[in-house]
């Protein structure tokens, strides 16, 4: 039996990139997976090739049930509808990965904080209400190495630092209900958006890789393996932690 057989997961921002890697990893472990994004065809924007027309279709091809829900996680009403649709479709929610986010707005504070922090909080609050009734659950938030190294006070780094802090507080609050809350903090990962923006170029590699102790940029699967740990019983006694998946970049 697969380690997540009978479980239901929701991955926000799961229509491409890292979110897609998380969703497919959970499906391969036996979970039924709901996928949220602003659009189920968002992968086309960055030229990411899928094995089916959408990520939910990829999950169904693996023999798992799936549901695609287009919604903006910064809108409270849309978040309520998102979680209601997941419960209506699957009857429960065991795993939440709050992957929706990014450095999309440059130096603009409000939209960056809304996307990375407010979106995370709204989804965690909605999931917590469901998981409390179940008496169990796994919440995995998504921070960033940018929120850990303290090299700058830009909106993205501050918003991701806030996600890590929120994770610790939420873990303390939800622990008595049998719910673990942990954060994954990716480093320089070759996601489809990053690749489209030039991260895979020789110039970028030569600049970044010498400063990474493991001497390579990360792949989405490097992060998906840590999500597997946090979503399964391997991490049942782990909560309130931020795990940086950066090849050692934060050791600089």
Mean pLDDT computed over 79-96: 98
| Spatial contact of 196 and 175, defined as CB atoms under 8 Å apart | no
Mean pLDDT computed over 213-233: 96
The reported pLDDT for the residue numbered 121 is 98
Residue 1 banded pLDDT, cuts 50, 70, 90: low
C-alpha 202/C-alpha 207 separation (Å) is 9
Mean pLDDT computed over 102-125: 96
The phi, psi pair for 237, rounded to 5°, reads -110, 25
Residue 179 banded pLDDT, cuts 50, 70, 90: very high
| Spatial contact of 42 and 15, defined as CB atoms under 8 Å apart | yes
User: What is this structure's pTM?
Assistant: 0.95
Which active-site residues does the annotation give? 156
> Please, what is the average pLDDT of the chain?
95
CATH of domain 8-244: 3.40.50.720
DSSP state, residue 232: S
The phi, psi pair for 118, rounded to 5°, reads -60, -45
pLDDT surpassing 80 at residue 2: no
User: Of residues 27 and 104, which shows the higher confidence score?
Assistant: 27
C-alpha 103/C-alpha 13 separation (Å) is 13
Angle of helix 155-174 relative to helix 119-134, nearest 10 degrees, comes to 10
59-68, 99-108, 117-126, 149-158, range with the lowest pLDDT? 149-158
Mean pLDDT computed over 193-205: 89
Residues in the chain: 252
pLDDT surpassing 70 at residue 151: no
Residue 152 banded pLDDT, cuts 50, 70, 90: low
Residue 100 banded pLDDT, cuts 50, 70, 90: very high
SS (H, E, C) 21-40: HHHHHHHHCCCEEEEEECCC
The reported pLDDT for the residue numbered 250 is 87
pLDDT surpassing 70 at residue 105: yes
User: Which residue in 140, 103, 102, 130 sits closest to 231, CA to CA?
Assistant: 140
């Amino acid at each position: 039996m697969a380690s997540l057989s009978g479980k239901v997961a929701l991955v926000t921002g799961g229509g491409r990139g890292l979110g897609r890697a998380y969703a497919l990893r959970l499906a391969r472990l036996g979970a039924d997976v709901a996928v949220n994004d602003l659009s189920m065809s968002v992968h086309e924007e960055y030229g990411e090739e899928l094995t089916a027309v959408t990520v939910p279709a990829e999950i169904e091809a693996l023999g798992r049930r799936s549901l695609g829900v287009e919604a903006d996680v910064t809108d409270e009403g849309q978040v309520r509808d998102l979680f209601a649709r997941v419960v209506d479709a699957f009857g429960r929610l065991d795993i939440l990965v709050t992957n929706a986010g990014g450095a999309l707005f440059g130096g603009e504070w409000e939209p960056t904080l809304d996307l990375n922090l407010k979106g995370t909080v709204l989804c965690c609050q909605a999931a917590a209400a469901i998981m409390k009734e179940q008496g169990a659950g796994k919440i995995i938030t998504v921070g960033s190495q940018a929120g850990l190294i303290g090299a700058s006070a830009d909106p993205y780094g501050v918003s991701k630092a806030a996600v890590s802090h929120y994770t610790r507080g939420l873990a303390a609050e939800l622990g008595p209900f049998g719910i673990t809350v942990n954060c994954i903090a990716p480093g320089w990962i070759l996601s489809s958006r990053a690749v489209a923006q030039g991260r895979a170029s020789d110039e970028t590699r030569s600049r970044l890789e010498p400063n990474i102790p493991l001497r390579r940029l990360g792949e989405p699967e490097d992060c998906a393996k840590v999500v597997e740990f946090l979503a399964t019983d391997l991490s049942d006694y782990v909560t309130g932690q931020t795990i940086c998946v950066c090849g050692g970049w934060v050791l600089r």
